[in-house]
Structures are given as C-alpha cells and as structure tokens.
Amino acid sequence: MFLGRVAGTVWSTVKWPETRGLKLLLVRPYRLGDLAPGAVRAGAEASEPTDDLVVCADLLDAGPGDDVLVAFGHAARVAVSEKLAPGAKPNVPIDAAVVAVVDRVEIESETRR
C-alpha cells in the first residue's frame, strides 16, 4: 500500500458495467521525504507530494485533502468487489483502491545504519 493525498475526483459515464456506481478519486502519492519526522495531521498542509496521480476506487467516502492508504492489484479488487457484488469473485477491472483514511502518520527521523 502507499500513502497519498486525495487531489480530486474522476467522473465518467462510459465505463465497464461492473464499475458503475464506483467513486473514483485522484490520489497523489507521498514521497518519503514529505512524511516528515513528527506527526502529520490529516488535513494539514502537505509539502509537495509527487506529480504522479493514481486513480483509485473509493468506498470510504474520502474527499479532497484527505490522506489515504491505497492498495494495488488483487487487494484493490478484493476491497471493491465486496461492495459491488458481495460474495462474487473479485473480477472487477480495478487495480487501486482506498483501503483506509489516515488519522495520523509518524515517521522517525532516519539515521543511516
């Protein structure tokens, strides 16, 4: 999984039927250096996440400015399929999903070992 900040939302009318009703968020991954030593409060001003934007399915109602935890691959399909088709195999065409909304992150200041 990776930590990122919700930067926006994606709307789409033309999409795979299995994903209808699924909210899609634009998430900017954090670089390790941005997760500065000390607590990072959700909603606090973050210093320059990367320019990458990942489109993630969202079932936790995260919104712009929220810090989120995103899972890739099969894990993302597992996250999403339970809501879309409970009990069915996780076969949705999704590869990234928000699995948690972050309250707090603490990073120790790093020392070379």
Partner 1 sequence: MILGRVVGQVWATRRDARLGRAKLLVVRPTGIYEPAFDEIASGEIASGEIASGETAFGARHLVATDDLDAGIGDQVVVCLGAPARASAGGNDVPVDAAVMAVVDRAEIDLHALGAAGAGPGIRRKLTEAFG
Interacting residues with partner 1 (CB under 8 A): 1-3, 29-33, 35, 50, 59-60, 69, 71-76, 78-79, 82, 90, 97, 99-108, 110, 112-113
Least Å from the CB of residue 14 to partner 1: 26
To partner 1, the closest distance from the beta carbon of 33 in angstroms equals: 5
Neighbour-count burial of 52, counting CB atoms closer than 10 A to its CB (0-12 exposed, 13-18 middle, 19+ buried): exposed
What tokens does 95 get?
């590869």
Kindly state the smallest distance separating residue 12's Cβ from partner 1, in Å.
22
Nearest residue (CB) to partner 1, 24 versus 99: 99
Q: Whose Cβ is closer to partner 1: residue 45's or residue 51's?
A: 51
Min. distance of Cβ 37 from partner 1 in angstroms? 9
CA distance 4 to 100: 11
Q: How far apart are CA 70 and CA 76, in angstroms?
A: 8
